[in-house]
Amino acid sequence: MPVTTLVVMGVSGSGKTTVARTLAERLARPYVEGDNLHPAANIAKMRAGTPLDDVDRGPWLDRIADQVSDWEDAGISAVLTCSALKRAYRDRLRAGHESIFVVHVSVDAQTLRKRLARRADHYMPPSLLASQLADLEPLGRDELGLTVDGGGTPSDVIEQVIASLA
C-alpha cells in the first residue's frame, strides 16, 4: 500500500481536529495537530484577534511540509490537520509530496458560529471566523482529495472518509 498523508483541512470549528484524531486512531497512523506547528508570533496574533496573512502562514506551512517529508522518507502513512484554506497553501504543501490526500471538512457558517461560541479551550477567537471563510477556497476538481459534510456527528464524517479511502 502506498504511503498516504491525510491532510484534514477546514476552518476553525469545522471539526478537523476531532476527525483527524479519530482517523489516526482508526487507521493506526501517527497524528500531528498542525496548530501546534504555528510559530509563537502567529499564535499571539490570532489570540489578539488579528487574522494571519500569507506571509504569516509561510513558515507554518513549511513546518507542516517538513513533517510530511519526514513521514514520506520513513515510509510512514499519517494524518495531520492544517486549515489549508487557499489552493496556494495546499499546492505549497503538495510540492514534492506525492503522498498528500486532502480531506476538507466543510460546515455551514451558522453551525460554525454555534460551535465556536461553545469552545473555550482554543487560542483562536470566534471573531476570526469571517476572515477564514473569506479566504476559504474549496478543493478544485483537479486536487487529490475529498470534501465531506462536517455538519453531522464525527462518526458520520469518519465513515464517509474511510469509505472513500477504501
pLDDT in tens, 13-26: 888 999 999 999 99
- Asked whether the predicted pLDDT for residue 47 surpasses 70, the reply is yes
Find out whether 117 and 52 touch, Cβ atoms under 8 Å. Answer: no
pLDDT the model gives residue 92: 95
Choice among 2-6, 27-31, 68-72, 79-83 with the minimum mean pLDDT: 2-6
Give the Cβ contact number of residue 65 at 10 Å: 18
pLDDT the model gives residue 113: 85
Alpha helices in 15-127 (DSSP H): 16-27, 40-47, 54-74, 87-94, 109-118
Residue 72's nearest CA partner among 110, 100, 39, 32 is 100
| CATH number of the structural domain spanning residue 26 | 3.40.50.300
State the DSSP H helix or E strand holding residue 80, giving kind and residue range, or none if neither.
strand 78-81
Work out how many domains the chain is built from and give that number: 1
Host domain of residue 138: 5-165
What's the distance, CA 106 to chain centroid? 11
